[in-house]
């Protein structure tokens, strides 16, 4: 649903009543804060046309790949300039992992900014140490930054000039 981590038990009344009498029910019940968050999330579903814009998880899951590719094309020039040196930057197709809970093996097509360089661990560390950390993954000789969940393009670009200072 894209809201708080919670489980709901629904089913036949007599089966739910059995669970309600189990001593573990007290330990596993939701607190008031999670119930309020769950209620707020469910209220968003009353307006399905605006759900993707109002619920970030749904927005990320339904983001069109054409939009992600266009974002990558806008970001590549400032990203490559910030890397400097011998590092090579490119746009690469990737598969975004949806999650490790309910959908651990489901993947969505996406695009990433990829860095090819000998010092990938150093670069990954430099990106993590930016004022707003940027987390990538190293795979197949490249450092990948999947853009599916990047919503603040301006802030990302604005902090790239600090990369050299942090990396040095």
Collapsing DSSP to helix, strand or coil, 133 comes out as: coil
E-strand ranges in 7-149 read 88-97, 107-116, 137-139, 142-146
Q: For residue range 135-151, what is the model confidence (pLDDT) as tens digits?
A: 999 999 999 999 999 99
Domain that holds residue 88: 63-167
69 and 128 fall within a common domain: yes
Buried b (16+ CB within 10 A) or exposed e, 81-107: ebbeeebebebbebebbbeeeeeeeee
Task: Tell me the mean pLDDT in the region 92-110.
Answer: 82
Helix (H), strand (E) at residue 75: helix 65-83
- 1 inside domain: no
- pLDDT of residue 9 exceeding 60, the answer is yes
- 119 inside domain: yes
pLDDT of residue 54: 87
- 6 inside domain: no
Q: How many CB atoms lie within 10 A of CB 4?
A: 15
50 and 116 fall within a common domain: no
119 and 90 fall within a common domain: yes
- 17 inside domain: yes
92 and 152 fall within a common domain: yes
Task: Tell me the mean pLDDT in the region 11-25.
Answer: 86
- 2 inside domain: no
Q: For residue range 30-76, what is the model confidence (pLDDT) as tens digits?
A: 889 988 998 998 898 898 888 888 888 888 888 999 999 999 999 99
Query: In whole numbers, what is the pLDDT of the chain averaged over residues?
Result: 88
pLDDT of residue 103: 64
75 and 30 fall within a common domain: no
Q: What tokens appear for 68 in the block? A: 């992600």
Percent of the residues in the chain that have a pLDDT greater than 70, as a whole number: 94
Collapsing DSSP to helix, strand or coil, 119 comes out as: coil
In 3-state terms the chain splits into helix, strand, coil percentages (rounded to 5) of 50, 15, 35
Buried b (16+ CB within 10 A) or exposed e, 6-37: eeeeeeeeeeeeeeeeeeeeeeeeeeeeeeeb
pLDDT of residue 56: 85
DSSP secondary structure, 16-42, as one string = HHHHHTSTHHHHHS--HHHHHHHHHHH
Structural domains of the chain, count: 2
111 and 134 fall within a common domain: yes
- pLDDT of residue 132 exceeding 60, the answer is yes
54 and 79 fall within a common domain: no
56 and 67 fall within a common domain: no
Indicate which CATH number applies to the domain containing 83: 3.90.1150.180
- 4 inside domain: no
- pLDDT grade, residue 100 (50/70/90)? low
Q: Tell me the whole-structure pTM to 2 decimals.
A: 0.78
Q: What tokens appear for 66 in the block? A: 């054409």
- pLDDT grade, residue 164 (50/70/90)? low
């Amino acid at each position: 649903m894209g809201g708080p981590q919670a489980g709901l038990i629904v089913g036949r009344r007599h089966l739910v009543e059995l669970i309600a009498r189990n001593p573990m029910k007290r330990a596993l019940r939701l607190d008031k804060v999670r119930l309020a968050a769950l209620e707020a999330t469910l209220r968003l579903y009353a307006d399905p046309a605006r759900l993707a814009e109002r619920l970030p998880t749904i927005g990320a899951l339904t983001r069109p790949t054409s939009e992600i590719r266009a974002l990558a094309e806008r970001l590549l020039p400032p990203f490559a300039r910030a890397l400097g040196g011998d590092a090579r930057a490119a746009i690469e197709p990737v598969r975004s992992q949806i999650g490790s809970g309910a959908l651990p093996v489901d993947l969505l097509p996406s695009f990433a900014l990829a860095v090819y360089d000998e010092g990938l661990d150093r670069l990954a560390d430099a990106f993590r140490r930016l004022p707003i950390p940027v987390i990538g993954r190293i795979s197949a000789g490249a450092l990948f930054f999947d853009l599916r969940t990047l919503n603040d393009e301006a802030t990302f670009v604005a902090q790239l000039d600090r990369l050299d200072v942090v990396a040095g």
